[in-house]
Chains A and B, each alone.
Chain A
Amino acid sequence: MKELMTGNEAIARGAWEAGCGFATAYPGTPSTEITENIARYKEIYAEWAPNEKVAFEAGIGAALGGVRTLVCMKHVGLNVAADPFCTFSYTGTSAGFVLICADDPAMHSSQNEQDNRYYARLAKVPMLEPSNSQEAKDFTALAFELSEKFDTPVMVRVTTRISHSRGIVELGKRKNVKQKPFEPNPPKYVMVPANARVRHKVVVERQKKLAELSETSPINRIEKGKGKIGVVSAGVAYQYAREVFPDAPFLKLGFTHPLPKKLIGKFAKGKEKIYVVEELEPYIEEQIAALGIPVIGKQKLPIIDELNPDIVKAGFIKKRKPNPVEDISALPKRPPNLCPGCPHRGLFTAIKQLKPVIFGDIGCYTLSVLPPLSTHDSCICMGASIGVSYGYSKVGANEIKKSLGVLGDSTFLHSGLTGVLEMAYNKGMNTVIILDNRTTAMTGGQNHPATGFTLKGEETRAVDIPALCKALGVERVFVTSPFKVKETRELVKRELDIKEPSIIISSEPCPLIFRKRSAPFAVDPEKCKECGACLQINCPALTRKGKKAQVVDYLCNGCSVCAQVCKFNAIERVPEKKATAK
């Protein structure tokens, strides 16, 4: 049976076929759909963990408990999970443990484009890199086998272009894998220094065996071709390189840590030139160069952004001729924007005129950095808003505090709790706003520990966010609706002026996820004075007709924020049509 599958669907399928029984993740583009797809297989327990570190640790427990385990995250998620990752390499596993790490070259939806292949070297963990959906499925299954055979976690590294592209996949059956009983073995699993010193030696020996396997593994293969130029490539870059060099000899790498050094030497023999085509860092290139083999890679290809066939061609063959024929940079753009009815619009509209310094976080709300809202001063990583706003207020960068940390509910639960402890324990003076929209909105609306539902849709406990903040030591905790613009503004203003730590929960559900909609608004052209204040809230449902403002009724969500900013009462709700007989 052949199916058209995204890389993420194929990974989920590969895990299912390999007999995986436990899957855990925190959502993150481009990895989110792996776990969402796994949740559809009834044989696999699947969940959202509060963050990647917890997911990784839960995965360790499940694997030690004898069940094949998949843990998925985006590249920056592995920064969060790096602590257990680097030491789990030492202990090794019981049942197969596979980490899927999805990098995001070009930063389609990320704050950096770090190349996580270096993590495999750092942790001394084997790494596989699929180049299409079929390989995404096959390599995931292979990773489970390697994990058990070599007693190690295995990392499968994909990129956005693998995760989100569709290709044909040949489906297989599910393998029946029995749960292994846990065998207590403190020297192996208890990483006190005395044991860890022994285990590190085991890891180094394991690396040698994996390096031998990499030499003979069928997923590292020489593809014969014509000419004296050989191309080495892996991942989606292989597909671009193949398109540009259809007839050249290739060393196609799927097992990219450890690299097959002898095979590389054999491939390079007799070639005039070796090209390395890889996205982001010169990970393969530098290791080949270290073997003393002359290699051409990043001197011809960019170290930033995604590749594509045109970039590869321009780098190695010929410069691109000017194309397009005309400059498209002057075309009106369609930048990302907060949706109509988004509660974040109400919050930022409320606080903008207070002119605070706003330290943001990772989520939809970061879109408010764009004009005309222009309400963000920093965005670093998950949970950073709290620590950054604390530190900033602590050094008194402004005479009065006027600094806010702003983050979402899911981000707060991911890594905001320790930040709150910092501001409470160390007598901070900052105010944090938690934009509680009851979901993980940016990645498409996933459940989290405060939604009351699990990934599989079962009801569960929901953490009480205000009570949690108080329990962490912040006394001034308030809840407001961001659709009450003036009230919210006054509350924030008051808290900014009080030199104590405080948390404001801006609470309204995401209308996109909860399909919440009220009757639309309309502009009364008689009353509209063409001041443009309503357009400053940057709502997709607001436009102009001539010089007058106009509401696009089928886009309007009825949130009322525009009506609240209009000084002339020119925007009013359209009364719901009465259900009359035709």
Chain B
Amino acid sequence: MTSMEKLDILIVGVGGQGIILSSRIVSLAFVRAGFDVKQSEVHGMAQRGGAVSSHIRASANVYSPLIPDESADFLLSFEKLETLRYLNFVHSGTTVLINDQRIDPPSVAAGKQEYPEDIKARIAKKTKKIDFVPAAAEAFALGNERIVNSILTGVLAAYLPFDKKIWIKTFKETLSPKLLDINLKAFEKGLEFKKNF
């Protein structure tokens, strides 16, 4: 477990994957658990398909909403290739959790560039704590591709220092009753993936 003094979490992926909702839930869970929290998204003009990252910082007193270089405790990546864009935030103690899903960028789709095949090896140069989670496949198995984000929230939650009750309360506060059940189910699924590095 990471020291409780501070937790810096970076959530990254592709626009449209539900990163913003996931970071809102994680941030609010920290608030409900009594932390000071700041959360900030970084994205350009892209609405769908662009690179998106969200910084979440929790401690007794958070100043900068942006995580400094090599300071992330967790990097939760919704897409394999996207992980590589944020290695500057990773250090030897960072836990990198990756949705085992490939979404081709336009240049790859157009056949102009190759999708990197050595993603794990490149991350491993900075940290050994890497886990690929088949969240997209699990979401498909649960019958709803749009709950990948809640599975991944669960994957991350398993490493965070607070009670499941807080998570359930936060999900209830954030989601409409219509969407709650399936997302909580997805969240529970995600919790099961925790690996002991």
Does A480 touch B at the CB level, under 8 Å?
A: no
Q: Determine whether the beta carbon of A544 is less than 8 Å from that of B111.
A: yes
Q: Determine whether the beta carbon of B125 is less than 8 Å from that of A242.
A: no
> From residue 118 to 169 of chain A, which have CB atoms closer than 8 A to chain B?
132, 161, 164-168
Q: Determine whether the beta carbon of A109 is less than 8 Å from that of B64.
A: no
Q: Determine whether the beta carbon of B87 is less than 8 Å from that of A328.
A: yes
Does B110 touch A at the CB level, under 8 Å?
A: yes
Total contacts A-B at CB 8 Å: 133
Does A543 touch B at the CB level, under 8 Å?
A: yes
Query: Interface size of A by Cβ–Cβ distance < 8 Å?
Result: 48
- Which of B28, B45, B63, B70 is close to A367, meaning CB atoms less than 8 Å apart? B45
* Chain B minimum-CB-distance residue to A367: B45
Does A108 touch B at the CB level, under 8 Å?
A: yes
Q: Determine whether the beta carbon of A165 is less than 8 Å from that of B68.
A: no
Q: Determine whether the beta carbon of A164 is less than 8 Å from that of B41.
A: yes
- Which of B39, B47, B50, B70 is close to A512, meaning CB atoms less than 8 Å apart? B47
Q: Determine whether the beta carbon of B68 is less than 8 Å from that of A167.
A: no
Contacts of B107 in A (CB 8 A): 332-333
Determine which residue in B14, B45, B49 has the highest number of CB atoms from chain A within 10 A of its CB, and name it.
B45
Q: Determine whether the beta carbon of A165 is less than 8 Å from that of B39.
A: yes
Does A299 touch B at the CB level, under 8 Å?
A: no
Task: Tell me the complex Cα distance, A512–B110, Å.
Answer: 24
Interface string of B82-96 (1 = CB under 8 A from A): 001101100000000
* Chain A minimum-CB-distance residue to B88: A324
Contacts of B41 in A (CB 8 A): 164
Q: Determine whether the beta carbon of B65 is less than 8 Å from that of A167.
A: yes
Task: Tell me the complex Cα distance, A538–B40, Å.
Answer: 30
> From residue 426 to 485 of chain A, which have CB atoms closer than 8 A to chain B?
442
Q: Determine whether the beta carbon of B46 is less than 8 Å from that of A325.
A: no
Q: Chain A interface: which of B30-38, B149-157, B177-185? A: B30-38
Does B21 touch A at the CB level, under 8 Å?
A: no
Does A339 touch B at the CB level, under 8 Å?
A: yes
Does B44 touch A at the CB level, under 8 Å?
A: yes
Contacts of B40 in A (CB 8 A): 161, 164-166
Does B161 touch A at the CB level, under 8 Å?
A: no
Q: A2-B31, A167-B37, A309-B66 are in contact. Are A336 and B105 (CB under 8 A)?
A: no
Chain A positions within 8 Å of B, measured between CB atoms, are 2, 4, 108-109, 132, 161, 164-168, 236, 239-240, 242-243, 308-310, 313, 320, 323-326, 328, 331-337, 339-340, 367, 372, 442, 512, 532, 535, 538, 540, 542-544, 547, 554
A-B residue pairs in contact (CB < 8 Å), sample of 26? A4-B24, A132-B38, A161-B40, A166-B27, A166-B37, A168-B36, A239-B64, A239-B65, A240-B63, A243-B63, A309-B64, A320-B69, A324-B87, A325-B125, A326-B87, A331-B81, A334-B15, A334-B50, A337-B48, A339-B47, A532-B110, A543-B104, A543-B110, A544-B110, A544-B111, A554-B145
